[in-house]
Amino acid sequence: MSHHPDTISTQRDIFQSTVPLSSGTPLQMTQESSSFEDNAAVERSIRYIFKEKKIPGCLPENVISQKMDHQKQLFPFETLCQVCPEHPKLDEAVLVTNKARIVSMMGVIENVSTHHRLCPQCHMVYRYQEWTDGLHNFDNHIVLSLELCLFLRENLQVRIAKIKYTHLKTALKIRVNFLSRDTIFHAYCHFEALTDTDYMYSCINCGFHPPVAVMDLHRKGVFNLAMSDLKAPPEDFNGEHDIEGFWNSVHLVMMSRGFFPSGVKNPFLVPPSYTDGAPWIGSETRTSDIVLNTEFQKVGTSSSHEAKLSSVTEDRLLDELAKQKVGVVTKLCKACNIDSKGSRFDLITRLREKMKSRQTHDKVFQSIWAASGGWSVILCPHGIVYSVKFNLRAESPQDFADLLLSWNHMPNVCVYDFADWLSPLRKMSRLHRMKA
Ligand SMILES: [Zn+2]
Ligand SMILES: [Zn+2]
């Protein structure tokens, strides 16, 4: 889930005005003068746009289909400050760049100029952000047409189980090869963060309360962090999270990417923590805006909990090991001082045997499981995702329990590939399997 923001490092001039259009005070936010005060002003702009410039969830057809050709100069709509109580007149518009690009389904419009205006009193920056023109301004350098944004959204929606970011690239490559995947991705996320959507997405067969729920784990996205980086939660913390508050803060991170070039400290970033990390559950599916994430309980305070976790993890770990490619298995054997000659099957057999020792077990565990636990997903049998939880630590049945306990209707049937984990009748189900 980490995206390298290297692509915007070349856009240091995002906040620098090069050619003042008038004798008014131009906004000079150079690297040197970029201070706390400037940051606070940018922060206010982001919150202003997030509150006042929301894109409607359902866009009128005439807005989407309008021609882009004549849009060569983009000025902020505001001429008076909307935040200061006496609404003072804003300073004259200042050119940000005349090399901005509008990326649309019909191609790219080059040499577009973008401008901003500054409030002489509160120093808030107003920039161009008008969806009614059929445009979405990402960072004053890249402007996407709303038609393109909707095209990207549709393509993401039809790929049910996995979001293929590479698809974005392939879809646009022919026309816009000067753009990196990250820039398009961040610009699109910026659009989604600003869109005022009622989340009504659900399976047409199952509705908002699927009677059968399938639990799955994706280990592709992991947090790259050491467990020691995570602060222990306060003693009275009970694992309840405000889902709206948390996902709003995530939206603000996506928004802020259009304002803070990489390398500049972004005050909106949400670091992974036990106390601030609500899972995602649709508004119709959850009981309330308060949802559970009791991941802090994985912090092995009691040794019995730890022991329980490691015993239930065993089957799963062996299963994962069996899926690994020969290269991974060979590496693991070498790391554990096990003979690495022979077939993949031979190596796995040797590893399994040696895993009875704690040391080897831990090595295999860390290598295959990674430091964190990927994301836990609950979906209906038709593949529509109802809940997602990003795990900071190795997956446990508790992750799914947290999600289901935050649902307003418990499914009748839960399908879990390692049902032993959830069932207290573990031995019985084993016997059952042996019989079958
Ligand atoms: Zn003002
Ligand atoms: Zn369904």
Q: Please give the distance, rounded to the nearest whole angstrom, from the Cα atom of residue 403 to the centre of ligand 2.
A: 18
Q: Domain check: are 76 and 215 in the same one?
A: no
Q: Domain check: are 225 and 152 in the same one?
A: no
Which structural domain, as residue segments, surrounds residue 88?
5-196
Report yes or no on 264 lying in a domain. no
Q: Domain check: are 212 and 153 in the same one?
A: no
Alpha-carbon gap, residue 5 to 61, rounded angstroms: 34
Identify the pLDDT of residue 350.
87
Report yes or no on 152 lying in a domain. yes
Q: Please give the distance, rounded to the nearest whole angstrom, from the Cα atom of residue 154 to the centre of ligand 2.
A: 19
Q: How far apart are the first and last CA of the chain?
A: 41
Tokens found for residue 294: 């009791």
Ion ligand 1: residues, CB within 5 A, are 81, 83-84, 119, 121-122
pTM > 0.75 = no
Higher pLDDT, 316 or 375: 375
Name the most confidently modeled range: 33-37, 103-107, 260-264, 281-285. Answer: 281-285
Q: Please give the distance, rounded to the nearest whole angstrom, from the Cα atom of residue 86 to the centre of ligand 1.
A: 8
Higher pLDDT, 12 or 106: 106
Mean pLDDT on 106-134: 92
Q: Domain check: are 54 and 70 in the same one?
A: yes
Structural domains of the chain, count: 2
Q: Domain check: are 218 and 125 in the same one?
A: no
Report yes or no on 203 lying in a domain. yes
Identify the pLDDT of residue 216.
84
Instruction: Report yes or no: 227 and 393 within 8 Å, Cβ to Cβ.
Output: yes
Q: Domain check: are 361 and 317 in the same one?
A: yes
Identify the pLDDT of residue 368.
67
Identify the pLDDT of residue 97.
94
Higher pLDDT, 31 or 311: 311
Q: Please give the distance, rounded to the nearest whole angstrom, from the Cα atom of residue 238 to the centre of ligand 1.
A: 41
Which residue among 196, 216, 251 closes a domain? 196
Alpha-carbon gap, residue 33 to 49, rounded angstroms: 24
Handedness of CA 280, 281, 282, 283 (dihedral sign): negative
Q: What is the CA radius of gyration of the chain?
A: 26
Q: Please give the distance, rounded to the nearest whole angstrom, from the Cα atom of residue 131 to the centre of ligand 1.
A: 23
Q: How confident is the model at residue 18 (pLDDT cuts 50, 70, 90)?
A: very low
Report yes or no on 275 lying in a domain. no
Q: Please give the distance, rounded to the nearest whole angstrom, from the Cα atom of residue 212 to the centre of ligand 2.
A: 8
Q: pLDDT digits over 61-100, tens only?
A: 988 888 776 778 999 999 999 999 999 999 999 999 999 9
The pairing of beta strand 375-379 with beta strand 212-218: antiparallel
E strand intervals along 178-317: 195-196, 212-218, 240-242, 280-281, 290-292
Q: Please give the distance, rounded to the nearest whole angstrom, from the Cα atom of residue 120 to the centre of ligand 1.
A: 7
Q: Domain check: are 160 and 191 in the same one?
A: yes
Q: pLDDT digits over 45-65, tens only?
A: 999 999 999 999 889 998 888
Q: Domain check: are 365 and 412 in the same one?
A: yes
Q: Domain check: are 313 and 412 in the same one?
A: yes
The structure tokens 């899972």 sit at 279
Q: pLDDT digits over 220-234, tens only?
A: 655 555 555 677 888
Look at residues 363, 325, 370 and name the one whose alpha carbon lies nearest to residue 220: 370
Q: pLDDT digits over 227-283, tens only?
A: 556 778 888 888 899 999 999 998 998 899 898 876 677 788 887 788 888 899 988
Q: pLDDT digits over 332-372, tens only?
A: 888 888 888 888 888 888 888 887 777 777 677 666 655 45
Report yes or no on 387 lying in a domain. yes
Q: pLDDT digits over 293-312, tens only?
A: 888 887 554 444 444 445 54
- Ligand lying closest to the C-alpha of residue 383: 2
Report yes or no on 205 lying in a domain. yes
The pairing of beta strand 107-118 with beta strand 94-104: antiparallel
Alpha-carbon gap, residue 154 to 150, rounded angstroms: 6
What is the four-CA torsion angle of 371, 376, 382, 383, rounded to 10 degrees?
A: -50
Alpha-carbon gap, residue 94 to 82, rounded angstroms: 18
Q: Please give the distance, rounded to the nearest whole angstrom, from the Cα atom of residue 385 to the centre of ligand 2.
A: 9
Which residue among 181, 196, 211 closes a domain? 196
Q: Please give the distance, rounded to the nearest whole angstrom, from the Cα atom of residue 87 to the centre of ligand 1.
A: 7
Would you call 143 helix, strand, or coil by DSSP? strand
Q: Domain check: are 176 and 217 in the same one?
A: no
Name the most confidently modeled range: 10-14, 155-159, 273-277. Answer: 273-277
Report yes or no on 427 lying in a domain. yes
Report yes or no on 265 lying in a domain. no
Q: How confident is the model at residue 208 (pLDDT cuts 50, 70, 90)?
A: very high
Distances (CA, A) of 83 to 26, 252, 351, 408: 20, 19, 65, 40
Q: Domain check: are 181 and 297 in the same one?
A: no
Q: How confident is the model at residue 11 (pLDDT cuts 50, 70, 90)?
A: very low
The pairing of beta strand 290-292 with beta strand 240-242: antiparallel
Identify the pLDDT of residue 401.
86
The structure tokens 């994301």 sit at 375
E strand intervals along 1-87: 55-56, 73-74
Mean pLDDT on 177-199: 82
What is the pLDDT of the chain when averaged over all its residues?
Answer: 76
Q: Please give the distance, rounded to the nearest whole angstrom, from the Cα atom of residue 115 to the centre of ligand 1.
A: 17
Q: Domain check: are 64 and 116 in the same one?
A: yes
The pairing of beta strand 280-281 with beta strand 240-242: unpaired
Count the neighbouring beta carbons within 10 Å of the beta carbon of residue 92: 16
Q: Please give the distance, rounded to the nearest whole angstrom, from the Cα atom of residue 424 to the centre of ligand 2.
A: 28
Q: Please give the distance, rounded to the nearest whole angstrom, from the Cα atom of residue 61 to the centre of ligand 2.
A: 30
Alpha-carbon gap, residue 392 to 128, rounded angstroms: 38
